[in-house]
Chain A
Amino acid sequence: GQQLNQSPQSMFIQEGEDVSMNCTSSSIFNTWLWYKQDPGEGPVLLIALYKAGELTSNGRLTAQFGITRKDSFLNISASIPSDVGIYFCAGTLTGGGADGLTFGKGTHLIIQP
């Protein structure tokens, strides 16, 4: 099946630092999404991207849909303690997200005081 390679696997940062993580695939995806999962909860959608080259922001979060449609990145600026959690990239092969999602393995973000 399709696979998404997400990196880094974990990040240890200081509060206030910027964060960057990315996902790559050997296949073309038509939709890229970024989720955050807190312990004991389901993933929460942060940003959805539908068009190659699209750059979208949601507060301190910015994500881009790569031009080749095989990659995406998520940036978090000026990290705060509540940013701690696991971030997943996900993609669909069809437009509009009407099929099931393929997930990356996640980036575990840890903020050191």
Chain B
Amino acid sequence: SAVISQKPSRDICQRGTSLTIQCQVDSQVTMMFWYRQQPGQSLTLIATANQGSEATYESGFVIDKFPISRPNLTFSTLTVSNMSPEDSSIYLCSGLDNNEQFFGPGTRLTVL
């Protein structure tokens, strides 16, 4: 199965700033996704990262707040823009490999 890494693993940020999270897969995958997991909660899909085109966002998530890039089949970034304390969460990326989704370790974000 694909191995997924994320950077940074955690960060503490000031409100109003932005943070870009990187997701690297050790092999090419057809699909990549970004999820949010609030403390003690389940995972919620933010968007599908499409290579070479705009990401597909789920209801409640918008491009201006969560811009996503996917320049190739092994890499994607998620930016959390103009952060507020409500954005404190774990952000996880996943990749689709052999019809199964595998997850990165997550990025734990705290916004003060």
Contacts and interface: CB of A to CB of B under 8 A. Distances in A.
A102 B45 contact: yes
A89 to B, nearest CB: 10
Contacts of B45: 100-102
Interface residues of A, number: 24
Contacts, number: 60
A98 B30 contact: yes
Contacts of A1: 58-59
Nearest to A48: B100
A98 B33 CA distance: 10
A44 B31 CA distance: 17
Given A40-B105, A42-B106, A105 B96 contact: no
A103 interface: yes
Interface of A: 1, 33, 35, 40-45, 48, 50, 88, 90, 96-106
30 contacts: A1-B58, A33-B101, A35-B103, A40-B105, A40-B108, A41-B105, A42-B105, A42-B106, A43-B92, A45-B1, A45-B100, A45-B101, A45-B102, A90-B43, A96-B99, A97-B96, A97-B99, A97-B100, A98-B30, A98-B31, A98-B96, A99-B48, A101-B33, A101-B43, A101-B45, A101-B94, A102-B45, A104-B42, A105-B41, A105-B42
Interface of B: 1, 4, 30-31, 33, 35, 41-45, 48, 58-59, 92, 94, 96, 99-106, 108
